[in-house]
Amino acid sequence: MSTNDIRVTRLGDHLGGEIADLDVQRIGGDIPLEAVKALLFEYQLLCFRDQNLTAQELLDFTRLFGDPDPHILQQFALPGFPDIVVLSNIVEDGRPLGNRKEGFGWHTDLTYMARPAAYTILYGLEVPPDGGDTLFASTYKAYDTLDDDEKARLRPLKGRYSYLKLYESRNNKTPLTAEQRARTPDVAHPLVRVHPETGRQGMYLNLDDCIGVEGDDTVDGKALVSRLFDYTVENFQYRHKWRVRDLLIWDNRGALHTATPYDMERHRRLIYRTSVRGEVPIGAD
Ligand SMILES: [Fe+2]
């Protein structure tokens, strides 16, 4: 399969495409960005193998897709790069290189923001020989299987999301600053979201920061989101087994993901993450 001579191998039944022999630094040069975005929209998740990027080059790649979105918590940013979050269990000279806990549990990134992340990018500099997989699930594919009545019931609804609730549930010891709180008021996003570039409709849901659903007082919102969420992750999943220097990018509008455990005492993991700020989610009604 190819678009503009980019060879793609399907990774999972539901989402994911592998591109084995393309240096991403050619994108925007002799490889048109639009061709790569078309593949990203088709596969939802792309894995570029064997990339050799500096932190700055990772940022340059990120900026092809939009404005980077720095994380609210800056303590795990790469020094000198506020837009790059380090995920790692490595401790050097007594200082953790990154956040060792983040990303566990199914979710989509930054639902609690007014403009949630459109894309998330992970770059694997060190990966454990086993464990530490990243799982993905397609809310597009799940939505496609719902019957027309259920789709019609969902379209007017909005999920409500709270960063404060999520933060408190994680037993964080440090209270959020006033500035961090001000950046994260509760938000509501359509449960059926329209992709701004393709027009594709799919479910947009998250569970751990969901505080209910607006639009139908007769519905137990949390139970509804929970049911749809479980249905998606149980039936429309892909497991990504990392290789060193994999560069992953996925489109958060139609996908959930989760980290999985690995032996943190025996193995090292070092992943750089960037996010691209998205649009205010567009509803289908
Ligand atoms: Fe995430």
The pLDDT tens digits of the residues spanning 25-72 come to 999 999 999 999 999 999 999 999 999 999 999 999 999 999 998 776
Rounded Cα distance between 124 and 127, Å, is 6
Average pLDDT over residues 144-159: 97
Average pLDDT over residues 165-175: 76
Distance 117 CA to ligand 1 centre (A): 10
Does the pLDDT value for residue 1 go beyond 80?
A: no
Distance 275 CA to ligand 1 centre (A): 10
pTM equals 0.93
Question: ∠ CA 173-269-110 to the nearest 5 degrees?
Answer: 50
Average pLDDT over residues 271-283: 96
Residue that is written with structure tokens 């996010």 in the block: 275
pLDDT value at position 167? 81
Q: Rounded to whole angstroms, what are the CA distances from 32 to 28, 29, 39, 67, 176?
A: 5, 7, 11, 19, 42
Distance 252 CA to ligand 1 centre (A): 9
Average pLDDT, the chain: 93
Distance 4 CA to ligand 1 centre (A): 30
Distance 205 CA to ligand 1 centre (A): 13
Distance 146 CA to ligand 1 centre (A): 26
Query: pLDDT (tens digit, 9 = 90+) per residue, 99-114?
Result: 988 888 999 988 998 9
Distance 197 CA to ligand 1 centre (A): 22
Question: Which helix (H) or strand (E) is 152 found in, with range?
Answer: helix 148-154
Does the pLDDT value for residue 3 go beyond 60?
A: no
CATH homologous superfamily, domain 2-283: Clavaminate synthase-like (3.60.130.10)
Question: ∠ CA 222-120-186 to the nearest 5 degrees?
Answer: 35
**Domain boundaries of the chain, sorted by first residue:** 2-283
Distance 73 CA to ligand 1 centre (A): 14
Average pLDDT over residues 209-213: 93
